[in-house]
Amino acid sequence: MSQPVLEQLFAVIDKKQIGLIDYESFLEVLSKGRFETSKIRDNFDWENSMIRKIKDWIQTKGLTVEEAFKCFDMNFDGYVTKDDLNKSL
């Protein structure tokens, strides 16, 4: 995944804009069918596609959202960093 794509996807999931994705934000993004934000000018097609792929992967593996979050949280500190997301994807 290219760095600009990773940065944009991370920004969409980082709901609290703290530079980290916590479980609450991860759950919120995955629980919505589609998402939009007024802060970023984009049609969100590719972002929604990536979220859909993550959701499909979770379902295929039979994971709970909490288990999936732990898969993305590479150092188990309770947050998904940009590096964690990049390695996971």
Q: Where do the domains of the chain lie?
A: 3-88
pLDDT in tens, 20-68: 999 999 998 888 754 454 454 555 577 788 888 888 999 999 999 899 9
Q: Which fold has domain 3-88?
A: Recoverin; domain 1 (1.10.238)
Residue 88 predicted with pLDDT over 70: yes
Measured distance CA(72)–CA(29) in Å, rounded: 14
Measured distance CA(31)–CA(28) in Å, rounded: 5
Measured distance CA(33)–CA(10) in Å, rounded: 17
Are 35 and 12 spatial neighbours (Cβ–Cβ below 8 Å)? yes
Q: What is the pTM of this model?
A: 0.71
Q: What is the pLDDT of residue 42?
A: 53
Q: Strand ranges (DSSP E) for the chain?
A: 21-22, 79-80
CB atoms within 10 A of CB 37: 12
Q: What is the pLDDT of residue 89?
A: 82
Q: What is the pLDDT of residue 38?
A: 47
